[in-house]
Structure formats: C-alpha cells, structure tokens
Amino acid sequence: MAGTLSSSTLHCQTYLVFTSQNPLRNLNSSFLINIEKRALIRCSAKKKIGFVDQILDYIEGGPKLRKWYGAPELLPKDGPIVEDQEEEDYPEDEVRDAVLVTDGDSEIGQMVILSLIVKRARVKALVKDKRLANEAFGTYVESISGETSNKVFVKKALRGVRAIICPNEGFLSSIESFKGVEHIVLLSQLFVYRASSGIQAIMKNNQRKIAEKDESVLMASGIPYTIVRAGMLQKTPGGTQGFSFEEGCSASGSLSMEDAASLCVEALEVVPQARFTFEVVNGGEKVSDWKECLTRLIGKTEQ
C-alpha cells in the first residue's frame, strides 16, 4: 500500500456509503458520511491512495491498518454469527471504556459509529440487523441486537460502557437503569417537533412525545448528560459551514446530519458536572476547537 498513517492530525473530508446489498463498496447517495480524520496521509507520487480506500481497508480487513489500530484479526464474513451467552452477574470493578451507540443501523447512527472508529474508541452498537452490522464493521464494533424491554439484554448491552450516544429518540425512555454509565449524549429534535405546525405537527406528534419522555428520563437519571438540541437535520455535507448556538435557533434553523454526528462524538470529550443542554444549527461561527467551544457553552449555562 502506497499510503501510510502517522500520528499527526489533519482535517479533511471523506464520504462512505452503506447499502443492504454491500455495506461499504456501493458508493451512492443512500448513506453519505462525512468524517473528520485524525490521520495524516502520505502517498507516493506514482500512486495516491485516498482515505476512502484506507478506511475501507481496515474495516474490511486490511492487515496494515488493523495492526495500526491494534484491532484483532477479522473473522470470515461467511462464518456463522454466534450469539453471546447470557450473563447475569458482572464484576463491580469491570473496566468501562466503551461507547454505546443506540439505533446503530440508522443513517446518523452509522455516521456516529464511523466517527468513533476514526477516534480509535471502543464501540458497542445496538442494531436490528447484527449480520449486516458485522459485515460492515467487523470487529471494530461490537454489534448487539435485542429488546430493550429485556432487563438481561440491557445489562449485557451496558456491560463495559462508560458513555452512551443516542442519535435518535426512543432508547432512554425504554430503559429502567443506567447503572455504571458515566455520561450520556442525546441528540434531540424536540424543539423542531414543537415548532412544527399543521399536518407536520400531527405527523410528528408521537415523535415529540417520545423526545419529551427521553429528555425527562435523562434529567431524572442523576447521570451527567449533554443534550444537543439540533435544528432540522439535513443530508448536506458536513464541515463546510459554521455554527450558531443562539437560544431558540433550533426551532427554525437546520443542521447538517454529518455535523450533528461529529458534534455528538466531540461532546464525549467534555463531561459536565451534572447537566448540559445547548441548541445548535449551522451558522456563521467557525469552530476549530470543540473542547474549548463546549467548555465555554457549559460556562454560559452555569451563569
């Protein structure tokens, strides 16, 4: 391979696509994913290898990138998927270093997962189609499938999890306990639903109720949380626009889905002491340091 990776950091744009027939190779508009990369690509003058091919390489089994990421060898795709045995008792001192992404087969869930992979995070994902998820991400993601009404399954899903990212509504209000979780990030469309009128308000009424319940459960959980109240999510390229964090902006503005996914991942790096809620849409403010930006926003909410 002509391209190699160093430990330097460079922000550039990549687009990946997922379809049910071929999760990674069919490049079309079904799943357009923009990722901020944390690697500097060095290529020979004769043959330049793009990051699309490199990220596909490590997800689909490229040995060099597997070694660089420190991941185990991928299992054969055609092999049977063996469900994990149910376990009820976990040690109290278990290592919690994983990030759980709910609704992992959704478009924005896929975007969040890939952003976490690039950050070399340990990722667990709740999915409906475990086989497809395993084909897409191999051993870079621990894909789990089950009913959140099942307490044994929920306990298994939360094993080793330090933080949860909820890119869609519905998960939090279905869970009784988040024992051991240290931080939850919720991408909320509540203000968008509330601002809807006419037929749109009727169509989004159920989503609004679920979003309200999710936020209510999260606020009562006692776990440090970040609620990202985004404007209307748009399927537009991320990383090309600035942002606005003005109060009330999410009811009338819009936000790139790619930017929303990246922001949820960035929010993991800034854990509030208790609660942190902010609104965000695409706007004129350029953000070069998300940690500084989010810390500043937390300071404003505490005043």
pLDDT number for residue 200: 81
Give the phi and the psi of residue 218 in degrees, each rounded to 5. -65, -45
User: Is residue 230 one of the residues assigned to a domain?
Assistant: yes
Range of the domain at 297: 94-302
Q: Name the packing angle between helices 107-118 and 51-60 (round to 10°).
A: 90
HSE-CB of 99 using CA atoms within 13 angstroms? 28
Amino acid sitting at position 30: S
C-beta separation of 140 from 69 below 8 A: yes
Contact status, residue 272 vs residue 225, Cβ threshold 8 Å: yes
CA distance from start to end of the chain? 53
Residues of the chain with pLDDT under 50: 1-52, 61-87
3-class DSSP string for the chain: CCCEEECCCCCCCCEECCCCCCCCCCCCCCCCEECCCCCEEECCCCCCCCHHHHHHHHHHCCHHHHHHHCCCCCCCCCCCCCCCCCCCCCCCCCCCCEEEECCCCCHHHHHHHHHHHHCCCEEEEECCCHHHHHHHHHHHEEEECCCCCCHHHHHHHCCCEEEEEECCCCCHHHCCCCCCCCEEEEEECHHHHHHCCHHHHHHCHHHHHHHHHHHHHHHHCCCCEEEEEECEEECCCCCCCEEECCCCHHHCCEEEHHHHHHHHHHHCCCCCCCEEEEEEEEECECCCCHHHHHHHHHHHHHC
CATH classification of the domain holding 138: 3.40.50.720
In-domain check, residue 193: yes
* 153 burial via Cβ count (<10 Å: 0-12, 13-18, 19+): middle
Within a 13 Å sphere around the CA of 187, how many CA atoms are in the beta-carbon half?
30
Residue 24: inside a domain, yes or no? Answer: no
Q: How many Cβ atoms from other residues are within 10 Å of residue 125's Cβ?
A: 27
Q: What is the CA radius of gyration of the chain?
A: 19
- Whether 53 is in a domain gets the answer no
- Of 220, 233, 236, which Cα lies nearest the Cα of 280? 233
Residue 255, in any domain of the structure: yes
Helix 130-137, helix 107-118: angle, nearest 10: 40
Residue 139 located in a structural domain:
yes
In order of 31, 112, 161, 162, the CA distances from 95 in angstroms are 33, 23, 8, 9
Does residue 70 belong to any structural domain of this protein?
no
Number of structural domains the chain divides into:
1
pTM over cut 0.85: no
**Could you tell me if residue 163 is inside a domain?**
yes
The pLDDT tens digits for 19-73 are 444 444 433 333 334 444 333 333 333 344 444 455 555 555 444 344 334 444 4
- Specify the pLDDT at position 196: 84
The tens digit of pLDDT for each residue in 270-282 reads 999 999 999 999 9
Q: What is the pLDDT of residue 116?
A: 95
Contact present, 278 and 255 (Cβ < 8 Å): no
